[in-house]
Structure 1
Amino acid sequence: MKIELTWAWLEGHPSLDFANTVIRRGWTEYELINSTADLDSWLDAAALPAPRPATVTEGDLQAFLPLRNASLRLLRAAAGHGSWRAADVRYLNEALLSHPDVTLLGPTMGSVRSQPVGAPTPFTLLLAKLAAEVRDVLAGPRPDLALCDAPSCGQLFLQRRPNQAWCGPPCGNRARVARHHTTNDHQPQD
């Protein structure tokens, strides 16, 4: 099945935009970043925590996917769906350690600026910043982090109310229709 890349995110939060590059249609998951062109398209649309690299290479794609996969599993685990894996924690921490940054005083009183240690490539710096965004979501209690379990979704989102089960009204409607069909399929026939 070919999925059209629309990049319609729920939150605009870099860590969730990063993780939500895997989507579900029905109950099957689909990878949205299959080529450097897909990655380039995502970079154009995403809320990035660092400057967008001018170009991306096959090597950048090969660096993006494992970090995204580890981040996706950790975020899902934090949302109550899946296991917290030590290997994923190590992978995320390695990305953070590969290009740390320091916070320096800024040009005006009360301001600060971040500067990477060393001279990472723009894409490597972006991956380290994305890892930091994921870390920040996972580091504190996030009872509002949830996984939309509606058919054809599977996106991570931040709940706006404590009992919010779906990321938005369209998913709620799909879930209710699916539940209605399942309930009616089990009713005795006259």
Structure 2
Amino acid sequence: MKSLEEYIALAAESHGHMCPGQVLGIRMAMLGLKAIGIDDPGKYRKRLLTFVEIDRCATDAVSLVTGCRLGKRSLKFLDYGKVAATFVDLETQRAVRVVARDDSREKARTMFPELAEPHRQQLAAYKVMDDAELFTVQPVRVKLDGHDLPGRPRTRVACEQCGEGVNDGRERRVNGRILCRSCAGEKYYEPLSD
């Protein structure tokens, strides 16, 4: 695994800037990987599955460190709004959930009072605080469906209403018909008339 400083440089380049969330994500991933016994995410990338609970800067950093990607189906996004991630070794089934502690913000303020902005205080503090001051780590069990595993699609069906393809068991069965989520009433968008 690379050093914190190396990951910070890579994250700033990849994400476009450096912020406290990036540092949290890097450290969260490093800690999570260590806790499940993966010291080289590149070497063990096919064994690793990561769930992230927020769509903010920390997630980009977690992806950078772990090598997990949405497109490879090894990174799963759950919109819980929490700076948290769960790291799963698919071979051993070891898993830990790592959560950023909210009280670390106050600790950052007391550590670096000379830096007037909370953003700068957190950025400086999160690089040097102990893991236990930044995170809680909890061993967990993650129930995985075969459809959620990385790799090629396990199944593919066509929606009986719109005809669009649906992979990996994401279809809905409504009144005996196979429908995509949109046609089953779960649209996140509203079609516009031409």
Name the TM-score, length of structure 1 as normaliser. Answer: 0.23
- Higher share in helix: 1
Q: Hey, which of these two has a bigger chunk of strand by percent?
A: 2
